[in-house]
Amino acid sequence: MLDQLSVDKFEKLVGSDVKVTVMTGPNLTLTLDGVRKGDFKCDCMPEGCRAQSFTLTLSGPANYQVKDGTYDLSFDTLGAVPGVYMDNKGTPKPEPEEGAASPESAGPQRVLYEVVFS
């Protein structure tokens, strides 16, 4: 299954929900915020590596988050993607804009996660 996943398949899902199976607590629903292609500088990839590595950026509520670890992810159109390592990147610090309201009034904070496919 993992070898059939590609940038193109995930780019179509940006903005959609991703269900995370959490063995030690309630499951978590994240949003797929973006897909970033890897940028290798050589054509010397070992046999068995995917042609194009990529990273998924996900976000979820700050009031319930999970640690870095291996989780089963579920996408509406792709189905289950088992045993994927997800990295908790924390809550980004918003850049204050001139004349903007305080960060507290900007809405609920989100926690960022990354999943790398290589």
Confidence class for position 60, pLDDT limits 50, 70, 90: very high
pLDDT, residue 88, reads: 97
* Domain span including residue 18: 2-117
Dihedral (CA of 9, 11, 14, 18) sign: positive
Give me the amino acid identity at 79: G
33-59: pLDDT as tens digits: 999 987 765 566 666 665 678 999 999
Q: What is the pLDDT of residue 69?
A: 97
Predicted local distance difference test score (pLDDT) of residue 55: 95
Share of the chain above pLDDT 70, in %: 75
Give residue-wise pLDDT tens across range 81-113: 999 999 999 987 666 666 655 555 556 789 999
Tell me how far apart the alpha carbons of residues 42 and 76 are, in angstroms, rounded to a whole number.
35
In angstroms, the CA 73 to CA 17 distance is 10
